[in-house]
């Protein structure tokens, strides 16, 4: 039985010793009870040559599963060291079409053609080629061709026989998809309904007609949202005229959700491309630098604003003590507001109709928070500071900055989404930098207006 197993240092030492001595039996014995995902974890701890030795010892099914579990960059590096014929026969032949298409898509054009030519099953090869023609971020690029299809005019008995025949090519059977003679999707039947029906019952009498489906050009994120919303374990995919062409299962959707969450987190953190710690120094620096330059530019603008109000700071130097507080509060409030909006847009729970009412609600929330925080800083300065002018100035400026930052953090993600940009951009350095600049400007303007009145 394959179980979850911790990859310890002692285990790795034993494994590498077996590889170094060419002891195939010992290496196979060590990996026998490992899940494919656990074997894939070992890749980061061994060399490419050692990985090649190990993977070629695996049976074809486990080898295929292990390759599918590898990180894309690791997989691409590993497969470059394997002959195309071996890749096709030992790995691709055993993979579902969606996994096979993902693996082949990362290869060079030359290697891709070589692998496809070495796939023995022409139908399998043809299905992979079909999937490669779709954008990877669409339902077509996400789907698998393996599924159980029955005709709406068949009896339950005929469908059961067909299930036994087709299920050999399908890892998990969730539904039987019902089509007409032109393969137009008409409905689906669960295994439970099939088992509880009489053998002579015609399948269109028991099939569910009101079903959720995706078209090949639907965005992968939209498909994930539909499956998440309706708790679907699988969803059929049709072409432009409604013909059934594949299905998407929950494991593929989990990958989409995870990848989107990682991408949004990196955007929010100021990373311009998908990077990992294991990537080289150049790629890591390249991904971080653009937003750092923007942050630097924002800092320069902040310095210019302070320089513009240098005379005020010279007369009232105590105002400088609260510059960090104003900047920090503006950034924090902006991130909070934008994060809520981005989350709503990502989960499709935020509708943009009734925009004015939503803005009014956000303004009310910002006003309450601003009032409470301004009163707190007012009380603090009233008892600690000797300057009543400073007390009034800081409290008033803080209230204005919080309201502005909240509105800015609400509106910017919506505008980015409206013009086709990823709204997650608004949850990171963009919001903090913008609010730092505007917060300083508001603070200094309020100080110039009020200090003379209350001093």
Ranges in the chain annotated CATH 3.10.580.10: 149-250
Ranges in the chain annotated CATH 1.10.357.20: 281-454
Measured CA to CA, the distance from residue 255 to residue 187 in angstroms comes to 26
Quickly tell me which residue has 């917060």 as its tokens.
439
Specify the CATH number of the domain 281-454: 1.10.357.20
pLDDT attached to residue 212: 94
Please, which residues have CB within 8 angstroms of residue 46's CB and are 6 or more apart in sequence? 12, 15, 16, 19, 54
Measured CA to CA, the distance from residue 90 to residue 62 in angstroms comes to 10
pLDDT attached to residue 154: 95
Could you list the pLDDT tens digit for every one of the 455 residues in the chain?
444 556 778 888 888 899 899 988 998 888 888 888 888 888 878 888 888 888 888 888 888 888 888 887 788 888 888 889 988 888 888 888 998 998 898 888 888 899 999 998 888 899 999 999 999 889 999 999 999 999 999 999 999 999 988 888 787 888 999 999 999 999 999 999 998 999 999 999 999 999 999 999 999 988 988 998 888 999 999 999 999 999 999 888 888 887 777 776 666 666 666 666 666 777 777 777 777 787 788 888 888 888 888 887 777 788 888 998 998 888 888 888 887 777 777 666 666 665 667 778 888 998 999 999 999 999 999 988 888 888 998 999 999 999 998 888 888 888 877 777 777 665 667 778 888 888 889 988 888 887 665 44
pLDDT attached to residue 347: 65
Q: pTM for the full model?
A: 0.68
Measured CA to CA, the distance from residue 42 to residue 59 in angstroms comes to 17
pLDDT attached to residue 142: 92
pLDDT attached to residue 363: 87
Ranges in the chain annotated CATH 1.25.60.10: 9-133
Supply the angle between the helices 429-454 and 323-346 in degrees, to the nearest 10. Answer: 140
Instruction: Look at residue 105 and give its three-state secondary structure.
Output: helix
Q: Phi and psi at residue 186, in whole multiples of 5°? A: -115, -25
Instruction: Specify the fold of 9-133.
Output: MgtE N-terminal fold (1.25.60)
Distances (CA, A) of 37 to 63, 95, 275, 279: 11, 15, 21, 21
Number of Cβ within a 10 Å radius of residue 69: 18
Nearest to residue 143, comparing CAs of 213, 246, 68, 65?
Answer: 246
Could you tell me if 305 and 440 are in contact, meaning their C-beta atoms sit under 8 angstroms apart? yes
Helices (H), 419-454: 429-454
Measured CA to CA, the distance from residue 186 to residue 246 in angstroms comes to 14
Distances (CA, A) of 89 to 64, 102, 125, 145: 10, 16, 12, 19
Please, which residues have CB within 8 angstroms of residue 329's CB and are 6 or more apart in sequence? 373, 398, 401, 402, 405, 439
Question: What DSSP string runs through 48-88?
Answer: HHHHHHHHTTS-HHHHHHHHHHS-HHHHHHHHTTS-HHHII
Identify the CATH assignment for 149-250 out of 1.20.140.10, 3.10.580.10, 3.30.930.10, 1.10.760.10. 3.10.580.10
Nearest to residue 369, comparing CAs of 340, 391, 400?
Answer: 400
């Amino acid at each position: 039985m394959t179980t979850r197993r911790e990859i310890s240092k002692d285990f790795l030492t034993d494994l590498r010793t077996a590889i170094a001595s060419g002891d195939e039996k010992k290496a196979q014995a060590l990996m026998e009870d490992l899940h494919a995902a656990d074997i894939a974890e070992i890749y980061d701890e061994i060399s490419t040559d050692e990985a090649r030795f190990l993977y070629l010892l695996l049976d074809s099914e486990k080898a295929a599963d292990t390759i599918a579990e590898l990180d894309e960059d690791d997989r691409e590096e590993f497969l470059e060291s394997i002959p195309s014929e071996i890749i096709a026969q030992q790995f691709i032949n055993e993979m579902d079409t969606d996994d096979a298409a993902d693996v082949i898509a990362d290869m060079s054009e030359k290697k891709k053609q070589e692998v496809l030519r070495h796939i023995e099953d022409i139908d399998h090869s043809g299905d992979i080629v079909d999937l490669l023609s779709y954008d990877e971020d669409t339902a077509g690029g996400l789907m698998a061709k393996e599924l159980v299809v029955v005709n709406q005019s068949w009896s339950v008995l005929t469908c059961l026989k067909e299930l036994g025949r087709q299920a050999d090519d399908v890892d998990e059977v969730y539904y039987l998809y019902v089509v007409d003679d032109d393969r137009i999707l008409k409905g689906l039947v669960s295994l439970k309904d099939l088992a509880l029906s009489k053998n002579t019952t015609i399948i269109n009498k028991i099939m569910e007609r009101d079903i959720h489906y995706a078209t090949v050009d639907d965005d992968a994120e939209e498909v994930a949202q539909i499956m998440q919303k309706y708790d679907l374990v699988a969803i059929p995919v049709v072409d432009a005229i409604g013909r059934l062409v594949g299905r998407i299962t929950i494991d593929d959707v989990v990958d989409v959700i995870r990848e989107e969450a990682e991408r949004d987190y990196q955007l929010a953190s100021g990373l311009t491309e998908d990077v990992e710690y294991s990537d080289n120094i150049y790629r890591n620096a390249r991904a971080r630098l653009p937003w750092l330059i923007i942050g630097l530019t924002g800092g320069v603008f902040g310095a210019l604003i302070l320089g513009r109000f240098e005379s005020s700071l010279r007369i009232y130097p105590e105002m400088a003590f609260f510059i960090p507080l104003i900047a920090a509060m503006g950034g924090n409030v902006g991130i909070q507001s934008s994060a809520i909006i981005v989350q709503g847009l990502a989960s499709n729970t935020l509708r943009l109709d009734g925009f004015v009412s939503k803005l009014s609600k956000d303004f009310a929330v910002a006003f309450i928070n601003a009032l409470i925080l301004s009163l707190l800083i007012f009380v603090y300065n009233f008892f600690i500071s000797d300057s009543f002018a400073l007390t009034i100035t800081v409290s008033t400026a803080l209230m204005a900055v919080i309201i502005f930052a909240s509105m800015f953090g609400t509106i910017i993600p919506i505008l980015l989404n409206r013009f086709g940009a990823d709204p997650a951009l608004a949850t990171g350095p963009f919001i903090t930098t913008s609010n730092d600049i505007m917060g300083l400007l508001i603070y200094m303007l309020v100080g110039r207006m009020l200090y003379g009145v209350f001093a």
